[in-house]
Structure 1
Amino acid sequence: MTYQTRTLARSPIRFRNSGFTLLELLVVLVIMGIMLGAVSLNAVQSVHQKLQTDAQRISLLLQLAREEAIVRNRQTAFEVFDQGYQFLVLNENKWEKITDLDTLRGRQFTFPETQVSILSQDAVSADKLRIVFGREPVSRPFKLILRVGDDQVAVNADGVGHFVVE
């Protein structure tokens, strides 16, 4: 036993704690906070990106409405109302909502304050913003503009079925 005490007296044993210091934990938390902040900023879409998503959706729906007009052999229309849009079909000189095709149901804009304007060679009545697709595969070109504040996105139609979002 005396041998063991001599060894202990010559070299004191130090115990190293196997945990992290408070400073190390704080540094890791700060780094994680910065990373989370950067990821969340990239994940949230801007107003322009959401407006562009709306325009892409409308572009695809306009193409579908154009094709429906040709297939049904009846005029089909895209109409803008207060906070959204709908698709109509002309039945016996009366415009009616399309109810038999779920993809052309009425929808709301992402932003209720979205302003819509249509630039076309056709005269558009002041009270209704409407684009009409006829039975023929060629129609007049138009430009549909969606605007929220300073952000603006346009859907250009060339008249032969190509719709491009700018």
Structure 2
Amino acid sequence: MTHTSQPANRAASLPRARGFTLVEVMVTMAVIGMLALTVSFVVPDQRDDSVQENARVLYERINYAREFALVRSAILGLRVDDNGTSYRFLQFTDGRWQELNYRGLRRTSLDEQVSLAIETADLALLEQDDTDIDEVFAVDEREFTGNSDDEDGAEDDAEGSGDRAKLKSQPTPQLFIFGSGDLAPFTITLRDDFALRAGTEWKIASENGIDITLSRGDL
């Protein structure tokens, strides 16, 4: 009588498992590394998003201020406060710069750790008859409403109240927006130096005083 070893036959019939070769392992690791690198570029930095959103809002408000000035034949200005963390729009009325309280033009504070800087070109192209526009719109510091670059600057100071205090002027803005819609060439830079990708910034600029662009730049 012949005895057959079924377990042995089954083991012999099963395919033998083959391990990964060194080349296959290295290729797999390289692919995983490339995928991880791609994800790191695709996933946005939240801080960069914050800078972008603040830049977008200011860009839209500058365009709105131009329309506001054009419709009302008014002279407006953009004032960036000394610490670069807030800005406001002013209107030149009765020889004084007055802060606007219209929706979309009110004082705005930037997100935490976002800073703003503004540079404006010479206004010579907008000057006529040898008139110095800076001197025309400049205001004597004695006419300022207290410390006008602070949140409390619009409130009455200790020496004035009511209508008398309201007559005092805000500081002269860095960027003028004329009733024709024209403005001086300028560059506004918003950045967050604490961002994951240090050096990322957003710029609002106009090279000709007509077209305004919003773009991202990396230092």
Query: Shorter-chain-normalised TM-score: which range?
Result: 0.5 to 0.7
Where in structure 2 are the equivalents of 1:24-103 lying within 5 Å? Answer: 42=43, 45-81=45-81, 82=83, 83-99=85-101, 101-103=102-104
| Matches of 2:118 and 2:185, distance apart in 1 | 14
1:159 pairs, out of 209, 213, 218, with 209
| Matches of 1:113 and 1:60, distance apart in 2 | 18
Is the 8 Å Cα contact of residues 121 and 142 (structure 1) preserved in structure 2? no
Is the 8 Å Cα contact of residues 146 and 153 (structure 1) preserved in structure 2? yes
Match of 1:13 in 2: none
Match of 1:107 in 2: 108
Q: Which amino acid aligns with 1:92?
A: D
1:137 pairs, out of 181, 185, 208, with 181
Alpha-carbon deviations, 1:88-127, whole Å to 9, x = none? 111111001112x2111111101345141324234989x8
SS in 2 for 1:140: coil
| Matches of 2:107 and 2:120, distance apart in 1 | 22
Structure having the larger proportion of residues in strand: 1
Unaligned runs of 5+ in 1: 1-37
Give the TM-score taking structure 2 as reference length. Answer: 0.49
Where in structure 2 are the equivalents of 1:114-133 lying within 5 Å? Answer: 114-122=115-123, 130-133=174-177
SS in 1 for 2:104: helix
Q: Between Structure 1 and Structure 2, how many residues are aligned?
A: 123
| Matches of 1:121 and 1:52, distance apart in 2 | 28
Alpha-carbon deviations, 1:55-79, whole Å to 9, x = none? 1110110001111111121211111
Is the 8 Å Cα contact of residues 65 and 104 (structure 1) preserved in structure 2? yes
Distance change (3 Å), C-alpha of 1:70 and 1:96: same
Distance change (3 Å), C-alpha of 1:116 and 1:63: same
Q: Which amino acid aligns with 1:144?
A: I
Match of 1:35 in 2: none
SS in 1 for 2:119: strand
Task: Provide runs of 4+ in structure 1 moved above 4 Å.
Answer: none
| Matches of 1:129 and 1:120, distance apart in 2 | 14
Is the 8 Å Cα contact of residues 52 and 165 (structure 1) preserved in structure 2? no
Give the TM-score taking structure 1 as reference length. Answer: 0.63
